[in-house]
DNA sequence: GAGCGTAGTGATAGCGCTATCAAAATTCAA
DNA sequence: TTGAATTTTGATAGCGCTATCACTACGCTC
C-alpha cells in the first residue's frame, strides 16, 4: 500500500518559514556531493578523499557557510560545549580572553559556557569540577585554576580534555597554550640592562602560579649572564595585585639608594610602582624606569605607557578552543589522549616607561 | 538477499544515542494530551483551556521538564544569531558585558557573534551595518556605537531589532537597557554634599555620548537643589580616558584654591585624579575626595578604592539578549516593532575615596 | 577467480521542538 | 434545536544537522 506521495520537499514549496542562512544542503548541491560528505569535511572527521575535501572546503568558503549550532547540537545530542572557568572576575586580561575564546568558539560553532569559581576550598573545587565534567565536553583553564591539582586531576579522571592557558609550565596531564615566560623575562631584563641599568629591582608574582617563578628565573638568568649581581633586598614579593605592587614599590623606593629600574611581574604591579614613584616626586622614566608584563589595558592606561611583554591572550584562547575540539573529537573516536604543549611567541613592547638611568 | 533485519526503531530500540532529559513527548503522554498542547502551554502562547493548562503545568513540574533550547531554536528557526558589536577593545566594562551577554545567550541557546568596529568612518559604518544585518537576527550596541545615527538607522532600516545598552538616553527608534544616569549622578552629588563638600569639581565625559550630558545634568540638578552654586572653572571636559582625566585633574588641582572633591564621569578619569592628587602630595580622601562612575575593575584596583556608581552591566547585557529575542520573535510573527526602554537600578557603592573636607 | 577486507560515499532516519492547518469540541445566535 | 462562528486540540511535516549502516569501488589474499 503506497503512502502519501507528497515528497518533493524543500525548494520554495515549503510552507515553513525560511531562514536566510546557507545550509549544508546548498553546499552539498553546489559541490555535487551528499550533505553527509559536507558534514564530514566540515567536522574534519572521517575519511574523505583529499580531492573531495578540497572541493567541499572551497564551496564552503564560496558560500560562506556556517553550521547552525542549534541543529548541530540537536542532531549530535552531544552538545559540544566548552567551559571556560575563571576565578578572578576583575583579572585584567579577562576580556581579551573572552573575546578570543568566543571568537574561536563561534568559528567552530561550539557553545562556550562561562563559569566563575570564587572563594572555593579544595573540596568544593573538586565537587565543582566533577559537576562541570558532566555537562561539557572540554574545559579551558586560565591561571590560577590551571595550577590547582584538585581541579586538574578531577577533570582528567573524568576523561574530559583540558587546556591550560597561560600557565607558566607544561603540565604532564593536560595540554597547554602559553608563552615562554622564562625567555620573555630574560629578554625584558636584557632590555633594561642594555639601557645601562644595573640596580634593577624585581617584584615577584603570586607564589601559587608557576609563571611567577619562571619570570623570576628568567630575570635571574639574564642578570647572571650579564655578570650583574642581583641585590636580594631589591627583590620583593608581590601577588599580581595593584595593592601588592604598591607595597612592594613603597619598600623599594623608600631605600636610601633606590633602584634605577623596577621590573614588575605584571602590569598592575608596574602601574602601582609608577604611582608610588610619582607620589614620591620621581619622574618616570627620567628618575626611574618601570616595566611590566602581560600588556593588559592597564599598560596603556597609565601615564607614561608601560614597556611590557605582550601575551597574545586572544589568539591563545582561540587556539585553545581548537586544541580542545581536536581532543574531544579524538576522544569520541576512541583514540588515545594526546597532550600538547603549545608555546606561542611573545613580544617585547617598548613604550615610554624606560630610559637610561640618571648619571651618578 | 535479505537485508539486515534491524527495523524496530524508535521507542527504546533506537540505535541512536539517548539523551537523558525529559522531552515534551513524555510530558504529553503523562498528561494525556498532544505534544503540541504542551508546547503551547510552555510557551504561554495560544488559547488553551484553563483546565488543560493547569494539568499540563502540573505534569511539567512533576517531571521537571525543561525545553531543549537547541531543538526549540531550530524548530522556530528564530534567528539564532545575535551580534554584539563593540568599538573600544580595552573598554573597562567589556569583560563584564561579554560575560553577561554570553550568559544570556547560552541560556537561550542563541549564538552570540562578536564584532569589533574600530577606526571607522560614517560610510564604512554604514556598510558594516548593512553587512551585519544580513547575517544576524539582532544586534546589541554598547556605547559609543549606539549613539551613531548612521549605524542605528541602517540597522533599523534593515528591519532587524537593536538594543542599545547603557546608552544614556532613550532613543525613539531602538530599544535600550540602561540605568538612570541623571538620577545616579544626582545621588552621587548629594552623597558628596552630605559630607559637607561645596567646592565640588566635575570632570565631564566624552561629548559624543549622551550619558555624559546626563551625568553632568544630574550633578547640576543636585547642586542647584542644595543651593550650592557650580563654579564653572571647576568643570573640566574629559573624554572617559585616563589620560584626559590626568589633564583635567591637573588643571583642577593646580588652582590656588583647589576643590575639596572631584566627581569624575567614569572610573578611569577618577583614578587619574587620584594619581594626580598623589603626585601633588595630597592624600585621598583626607585632602580631597574623588568619586567615579561605572564601578569597573579600575575602581577597586586603585588605592584608595573608589566610591562610584555601579552599573550592573552583566545583568543588563543578559536582559538585552532577552529583549532582543522577544523582538525577533515578534518580528517573525509579523507584529509591529515595539520599542522598549528598560531602566535598571544602579547602586551607589561607598568605598574609601570620600571623606569630609578638611576644616578651613 | 572467489572471497574478503577497506576506504569513500550516500540514503535513511531521526534529535526535540514548533508552524501549519484541519478536525473536533464548544459556544452562540436565530 | 440547529447551523454558523468560534475556540481548543491534534496530526503532520519539517527546522539543519549527524549517527548509522548499506553500498560501491578497489585492492588484496589464497
User: What residue ranges do the domains of chain B occupy?
Assistant: 20-67, 79-180+313-344, 181-311
d(CA B178, CA B184): 12
CB < 8 Å to A112, chain B:
102, 106
Q: Are A106 and B114 in contact (CB < 8 Å)?
A: yes
Q: What is the mean pLDDT of residues B106-118?
A: 80
Distance B187 CA to C15 C1' (A): 54
Q: What does pLDDT average to over chain A?
A: 87
CB < 8 Å to A67, chain B:
none
Q: What is the mean pLDDT of residues A244-252?
A: 97
Q: Nearest residue to D21, CA vs C1'?
A: B4
DSSP A121: -
Distance B17 CA to D21 C1' (A): 15
A243 touches chain B (CB under 8 A): yes
d(CA A171, CA B175): 48
B112 touches chain A (CB under 8 A): yes
Q: What is the CATH architecture assignment of A79-179+313-345?
A: 3-Layer(aba) Sandwich (3.40)
Q: Is A135 left (phi over 0), alpha (psi -120 to 50) or beta?
A: alpha
CA distance A193 to chain B (A): 28
Q: Which residue of B has its CA nearest to A113?
A: B106
Strand B347-349 and strand B308-310: pairing?
antiparallel
Let me know: does B168 contact B209? Beta carbons within 8 Å: yes
> Which of B35-39, B72-76, B224-228, B341-345 is predicted least confidently?
B72-76
Q: What is the pLDDT of residue A132?
A: 83
CA distance B100 to chain A (A): 10
> Which of A119-128, A249-258, B102-111 is predicted least confidently?
B102-111
Q: What is the CATH number of domain B79-180+313-344?
A: 3.40.50.2300
Distance B48 CA to D4 C1' (A): 22
Let me know: does A137 contact A158? Beta carbons within 8 Å: no
pLDDT band of A24, cuts 50, 70, 90: very high
d(CA B115, CA B347): 30
Q: Are B242 and A103 in contact (CB < 8 Å)?
A: no
Q: What is the pLDDT of residue B148?
A: 85
Residue A280 has pLDDT above 90, yes or no: yes
Residue A141 has pLDDT above 80, yes or no: yes
Cell of B270: 577618577
Higher pLDDT, B109 or B88: B88
Cα A299 to its chain centre, rounded Å, is 18
Distance A145 CA to D17 C1' (A): 35
A302 touches chain B (CB under 8 A): yes
Closest CB to A99: pick one of B74, B114, B302.
Answer: B114
Q: Are A68 and B90 in contact (CB < 8 Å)?
A: no
Subset of residues 62-91 in chain B with CB less than 7 angstroms from any atom in strand D: 71, 74-75, 77
CB < 8 Å to A303, chain B:
242-243, 246
Task: Give pLDDT tens digits for B248-276.
Answer: 999 999 999 999 999 999 999 999 999 99
Task: Give pLDDT tens digits for A308-325.
Answer: 999 999 999 999 988 888
Q: Is A264 left (phi over 0), alpha (psi -120 to 50) or beta?
A: beta
Higher pLDDT, A230 or A129: A230
Task: Give pLDDT tens digits for A150-181.
Answer: 899 999 888 888 999 998 777 788 999 999 99
Q: What is the pLDDT of residue A16?
A: 52
CA dihedral B186, B189, B193, B195 (to 10 degrees): 120
**Would you say the CATH fold of B79-180+313-344 matches that of B20-67?**
no
- Which of A232, A233, A235, A239 has the alpha carbon at shortest distance from A205? A239
Give yes or no for CB of A39 within 7 Å of strand C.
no
CB < 8 Å to A302, chain B:
242, 275
Q: Under 8 Å CB-to-CB from A245, ≥6 apart: which residues? A: A203, A238, A264, A268, A269, A270, A271, A272, A273
Residue A9 has pLDDT above 70, yes or no: no
Q: Are B109 and A70 in contact (CB < 8 Å)?
A: yes
> Which of A239-248, A324-333, B79-88, B174-183 is predicted least confidently?
A324-333
B333 touches chain A (CB under 8 A): no
Q: What is the pLDDT of residue A204?
A: 98
Q: What is the pLDDT of residue B120?
A: 86
Higher pLDDT, A70 or A291: A291
Higher pLDDT, B11 or B137: B137
Let me know: does A133 contact A144? Beta carbons within 8 Å: no
- Of all residues in chain A, what percent carry a pLDDT higher than 90? 53
Angle at B349 between CA B343 and CA B351, to 5 degrees: 165
Return the H-helix or E-strand segment holding B334.
Answer: none
d(CA B117, CA B133): 14
- Which of A294, A296, A298, A290 has the alpha carbon at shortest distance from A309? A294
Fold of A181-311: Rossmann fold (3.40.50)
Q: Are A68 and B80 in contact (CB < 8 Å)?
A: yes
A77 touches chain B (CB under 8 A): yes
Buried b (16+ CB within 10 A) or exposed e, A127-158: ebbeebbeebbbbbbbbbbbbbebbbebbbee
Q: Under 8 Å CB-to-CB from B285, ≥6 apart: which residues? A: B304, B352, B353, B354, B355
Closest CB to A71: pick one of B74, B98, B106.
Answer: B74
Cell of B200: 565640588
CB < 8 Å to A104, chain B:
none
Let me know: does A122 contact A147? Beta carbons within 8 Å: no
Q: What is the CATH architecture assignment of B20-67?
A: Orthogonal Bundle (1.10)
Alpha helices (runs of H) in B196-338, residue ranges in sequence order = 210-225, 242-254, 267-279, 297-301, 313-332
Q: Which residue of B has its CA nearest to A275?
A: B275
d(CA A177, CA A337): 17
CB < 8 Å to B253, chain A:
none
Q: Which nucleotide is nearest to B74 (CA to C1')?
A: D15
Q: What is the pLDDT of residue B170?
A: 75
Closest CB to B303: pick one of A96, A242, A297.
Answer: A242
> Which of B7-16, B53-62, B176-185, B286-295 is predicted least confidently?
B7-16
Neighbouring CB atoms inside 10 A of B326's CB total 15
d(CA B225, CA A84): 49
- Which of B145, B205, B141 has the alpha carbon at shortest distance from B176? B141
Residue A355 has pLDDT above 80, yes or no: yes
Rounded to 5 degrees, φ, ψ at B119 are 50, 55
Let me know: does A26 contact A59? Beta carbons within 8 Å: no
Give yes or no for CB of B69 within 7 Å of strand C.
no
Q: What is the pLDDT of residue A1?
A: 31
Q: What is the mean pLDDT of residues A221-245?
A: 96
Residue A335 has pLDDT above 80, yes or no: no
Q: Which residue of B has its CA nearest to A82?
A: B106
Instruction: Tell me the three state secondary structure of residue B219.
Output: helix
B111 touches chain A (CB under 8 A): yes
* Highest-confidence segment of A113-117, A226-230, B122-126, B321-325: A226-230
Q: What is the pLDDT of residue A168?
A: 77
Q: What is the mean pLDDT of residues A283-298?
A: 95
Q: Nearest residue to C25, CA vs C1'?
A: B49
CB < 8 Å to B275, chain A:
275, 278, 302
d(CA B79, CA A68): 10
Residue A11 has pLDDT above 60, yes or no: no
- Give counts: helices (H), strands (E), chain B: 14, 12
Residue A8 has pLDDT above 70, yes or no: no
d(CA B241, CA B117): 19
d(CA B247, CA B265): 14
Q: What is the CATH number of domain A24-71?
A: 1.10.260.40
Q: What is the mean pLDDT of residues A48-57?
A: 90
CA distance A227 to chain B (A): 36
> Which of B172-176, B211-215, B351-355 is predicted least confidently?
B172-176
CB < 8 Å to B94, chain A:
95, 99
Q: How many residues does chain A have?
A: 360
Residue B333 has pLDDT above 70, yes or no: no
Instruction: Tell me the three state secondary structure of residue B20.
Output: coil
| Residue A287: exposure state from Cβ atoms within 10 A (0-12, 13-18, ≥19) | middle
Task: Give pLDDT tens digits for A71-112.
Answer: 887 887 655 678 899 987 667 788 889 989 988 887 766 778
Residue A115, preceding peptide bond in cis (omega within 30° of 0): no
pLDDT band of A182, cuts 50, 70, 90: very high
Q: Are A301 and B77 in contact (CB < 8 Å)?
A: no
pLDDT band of A143, cuts 50, 70, 90: confident
Amino acid at each position: 500500500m503506497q503512502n502519501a506521495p507528497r515528497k518533493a520537499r524543500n525548494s520554495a514549496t515549503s510552507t515553513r518559514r525560511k531562514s536566510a542562512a546557507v545550509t549544508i544542503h546548498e553546499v552539498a548541491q553546489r559541490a555535487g556531493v551528499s550533505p553527509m560528505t559536507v558534514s564530514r569535511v566540515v567536522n574534519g572527521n572521517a575519511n574523505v578523499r583529499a580531492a573531495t575535501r578540497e572541493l567541499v572546503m572551497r564551496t564552503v568558503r564560496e558560500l560562506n557557510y556556517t553550521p547552525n549550532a542549534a541543529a548541530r547540537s540537536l542532531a549530535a545530542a552531544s552538545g559540544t560545549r566548552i567551559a571556560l572557568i575563571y576565578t578572578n572576575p576583575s583579572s585584567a586580561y579577562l576580556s581579551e580572553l573572552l573575546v578570543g575564546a568566543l571568537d574561536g568558539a563561534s568559528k567552530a560553532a561550539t557553545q562556550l559556557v562561562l563559569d566563575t569559581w570564587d572563594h572555593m576550598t579544595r573540596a568544593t573545587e573538586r565537587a565543582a569540577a566533577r559537576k562541570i565534567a558532566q555537562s561539557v565536553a572540554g574545559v579551558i583553564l586560565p591561571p590560577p585554576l590551571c595550577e590547582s591539582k584538585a581541579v586538574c586531576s578531577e577533570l582528567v579522571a573524568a576523561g574530559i580534555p583540558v587546556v591550560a592557558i597561560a600557565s607558566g609550565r607544561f603540565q604532564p596531564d593536560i595540554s597547554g597554550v602559553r608563552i615562554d615566560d622564562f625567555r620573555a623575562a630574560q629578554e625584558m631584563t636584557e632590555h633594561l640592562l642594555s639601557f645601562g641599568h644595573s640596580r634593577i629591582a624585581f617584584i615577584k608574582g603570586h607564589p601559587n602560579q608557576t609563571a611567577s617563578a619562571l619570570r623570576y628565573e628568567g630575570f635571574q638568568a639574564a642578570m647572571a649572564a650579564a655578570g650583574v649581581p642581583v641585590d636580594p633586598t631589591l627583590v620583593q614579593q608581590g601577588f599580581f595585585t595593584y595593592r601588592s605592587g604598591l607595597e612592594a614599590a613603597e619598600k623599594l623606593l623608600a631605600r636610601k639608594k633606590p633602584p634605577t629600574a623596577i621590573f614588575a611581574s605584571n602590569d598592575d604591579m608596574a602601574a602601582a610602582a609608577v604611582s608610588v614613584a610619582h607620589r614620591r616626586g620621581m619622574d618616570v622614566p627620567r628618575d626611574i624606569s618601570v616595566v611590566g608584563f602581560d600588556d593588559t589595558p592597564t599598560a596603556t592606561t597609565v601615564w607614561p605607557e608601560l614597556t611590557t611583554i605582550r601575551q597574545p591572550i586572544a589568539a591563545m584562547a582561540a587556539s585553545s578552543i581548537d586544541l580542545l575540539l581536536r581532543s574531544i573529537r579524538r576522544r569520541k573516536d576512541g583514540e588515545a589522549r594526546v597532550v600538547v604543549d603549545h608555546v606561542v611567541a611573545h613580544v617585547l613592547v617598548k613604550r615610554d616607561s624606560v630610559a637610561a638611568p640618571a648619571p651618578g
